[in-house]
Structure 1
Amino acid sequence: MPLTSPRRRGFALGALACVLLPRAAQALDAGRAPVQRSSAALMGTQVDIVAVHADATLRAQALDAAWAEMLRLSEMMSRYRSASQVNLLANAAGGAPLPVAPELMAVLQQAQGVSRRSGGRFDATVGAYADWHFEPGLPARVPDAAALARQHALVDAHGLQLDPSRGTARLARPGMRLDLGGIAKLPILQAGLRTLATHGVTDALINGGGDVLCSGTLQGRPWRIGLRDPRAPQQLLGVLALRGGVVAASGDYERGFDYAGRRYHHILDPRNGQPSQGLRGLALVAADVEAVNGWGAAMMVAGLTQSQRWLREQLPGVEGMLAEPGRVWLSTGLQGRLLPA
């Protein structure tokens, strides 16, 4: 198995969504398929898998395959891996197009689509704002305005040039870089869930830092996903019962630092290189990843009013929770589905 000993432990609370397992599922319910939990660090966060299947050997093989597939894709799309395809594109920026894997091409096409539909509130080329560091253990530092202004000239969604027929991609100008943090994680988690199903485990859930994907049920019961209150992250707004689907969460407190009385976090506004100030956090609920992928970052930048408009006009079938410092707004459909915490 490519990952060394995934840690098997309880769930960490993710960004704005968490998985709630009833006590009956912590042990084995009599007459029901066993529940196995597996955890590992991946994509800069903790990823947890819950797999339900009666055959222990098949279940273990499915978990190994899912971890291997998610690791393969995360290393392909990470800007922190020097040999990743994302970094190869950055190193070749301004030069000839490079071949990219079909999985990366699909993510880049999604990025272009969300950038266009959001009016640039999402832009995968924000990787050019390279002086920000939000990783744990690094000293807090705010880039100076002059550096951000220089880097802003390299943030341009039109500079990401794709040729799907040839399977190639190109960044138009030297210095351009990609940051797929707002759009690659959900497809990677989806690939893990799909791999589990391919190996026969169709009742499963994956929680990646608060982004939750699930299929089937938990021993015949719906999966229970708690939505955290972005204004008070240790409290829940309520619980969703799902028999398949995705809860995609974004927030300003999971990766960041406080400096001189202000909160700085990892979701950057492409227009100025500063951390977004539109929303404190959000959660989007849909039947499939494609419906919501990339929109969390766009909404964090755009703010409440524009995000409400997108949910009404551009994102059919998507329900949302949007939080400002002073209030939380729930779409009508989500109000009807959210159970007491």
Structure 2
Amino acid sequence: MPKPRIIDAGRRRSLRGLGGLSLLATGMFVRPALADPAVHRASQQLMGTRVDIVVQCASAAVARDGMAAAFAEMTRLEQRMSRYRPDSEVSELQRCAGRRAVRVSPELIAVLRTAGQLSARSSGAFDVTVGAYAGWQFEAPGTHVPDAGELARERPLVDYRQVILDETRGEVLLHRPGMRLDLGGIAKLPILDAGMQALQRHGLRDAMINGGGDVLASGQLQGRDWRVGVRDPRAPERLLGVLSVSNGVVASSGDYERCFFRNGRRYHHVLDPRTGMPADGPHGVTLVAPDIETINGLGAAIMVAGEAAGRKLLAPLRGVDALIAGAGAPWMSDGMARRLRAVQPSAVS
């Protein structure tokens, strides 16, 4: 397992992200004070993105041990849920699709249970069986658009109702041969949350984990809430504003991260389960909640379902602030409008 890159703020005065507001690769940022020896940071590549941890702790040794434990736990779960690893539980499910059930970990059962519930609530706008659309390649230089015939052959394999859970036995069956899972829209938050729990077991209560546009925040940083920048999905080099968060989660979905252009059209990785083509709904969704359970996967569902349907999905939720960015002015819930603050241009380095 690759070792996390651990940097003490007091030893790296010029580190990007320290001293003033600084944009991270994911479009989120934090503000550790310049040269504070109690602020520690580690980074590692996980789940196809960069994951950053920042903690405040007087003991550098405790901080290092806690962050290493968090990365170890997140790596363990990623290895179980990755569709790219042949030894993962997800790969085993796919090999056994249509033939037999597979005994899997409680963590994967929980993720699939959440996925099924969200799929039902969103009328199939969210569906982890979109993994059957296997021909898409979004990473350069091997980008690829499947042809219509390929998508038509794969479409019958996309149906969340064919993922059969037996929670008593701890088993999962993909009912049809050829079915494939893509947990990218719903496994990341539980994996990051497991990392946060590992930090807290080491006594690190003031901590932030930032992974690919999703941020979990616990406690505060130097007596102030953590500050998280919200990227404008229509112009990702700009920020729509800044959120202050303590003991909560900010989850962002967008069509600007994994995408490419071909023949004047932009193709992105959020696929519509009904067609196998990139969703043509909002460009991005940002959600703020006190816990991951309330909003896990919801951003991707709204990007497929569209703004009107997304607002209906949000209506019964309590304690959730939301921003949906389409072609026009972004729509914000009342709570998000109160929470989001403009960022001073001079504050961004």
Q: How does 1:36-115 map to 2 (within 5 A)?
A: 36-115=40-119
TM-score w.r.t. the length of structure 2 is 0.92
Among 13, 24, 38, the alignment partner of 2:24 is 13
RMSD between superposed Cα atoms in Å: 1.4
Q: How does 1:163-182 map to 2 (within 5 A)?
A: 163-182=166-185
Quick check: 1:333 aligned with 2:339?
no
TM-score w.r.t. the length of structure 1 is 0.94
Cα distance, 1:139 vs. partner? 2.1
Equivalent residue number for residue 251 of structure 2: 248
Cα distance, 1:236 vs. partner? 1.2
Q: Structure 2: which 5+ residue stretches go unaligned?
A: 8-14, 18-22, 344-349
Q: Structure 1: which 5+ residue stretches go unaligned?
A: none
Alpha-carbon separation, structure 2, partners of 1:290 and 1:173: 29
SS in 1 for 2:275: coil
- Aligned AA for 2:24? L
Aligned length: 331
Residues 218-257 of structure 1 deviation map (CA, whole Å, 9 limit, x = unaligned): 0211100111111111111111111110000011010011
Residues 188-241 of structure 1 deviation map (CA, whole Å, 9 limit, x = unaligned): 000001100011101100000110001000021110011111111111111111
Cα distance, 1:282 vs. partner? 1.1
Quick check: 1:285 aligned with 2:293?
no
Alpha-carbon separation, structure 1, partners of 2:187 and 2:261: 26
Cα distance, 1:3 vs. partner? 2.3
Alpha-carbon separation, structure 1, partners of 2:327 and 2:5: 37
Alpha-carbon separation, structure 2, partners of 1:145 and 1:132: 12
Alpha-carbon separation, structure 2, partners of 1:5 and 1:202: 20
Q: How does 1:198-237 map to 2 (within 5 A)?
A: 198-237=201-240
- Aligned AA for 2:320? V
- Aligned AA for 1:21? R
Q: Is the 8 A contact 1:3 1:67 kept in 2?
A: no
Choose 65-74 or 318-327, whichever is displaced more.
318-327
Choose 321-330 or 122-131, whichever is displaced more.
321-330
Instruction: Percent identity, please.
Output: 53
Q: Is the 8 A contact 1:319 1:334 kept in 2?
A: yes
Alpha-carbon separation, structure 1, partners of 2:266 and 2:34: 37
Equivalent residue number for residue 151 of structure 1: 154
Q: Is the 8 A contact 1:225 1:240 kept in 2?
A: yes
Alpha-carbon separation, structure 1, partners of 2:105 and 2:172: 10
Higher relative contact order (CA 8 A, sep 6+): 1
Alpha-carbon separation, structure 2, partners of 1:73 and 1:252: 25
Equivalent residue number for residue 318 of structure 1: 320
Among 193, 198, 214, the alignment partner of 1:195 is 198
Choose 55-64 or 168-177, whichever is displaced more.
55-64
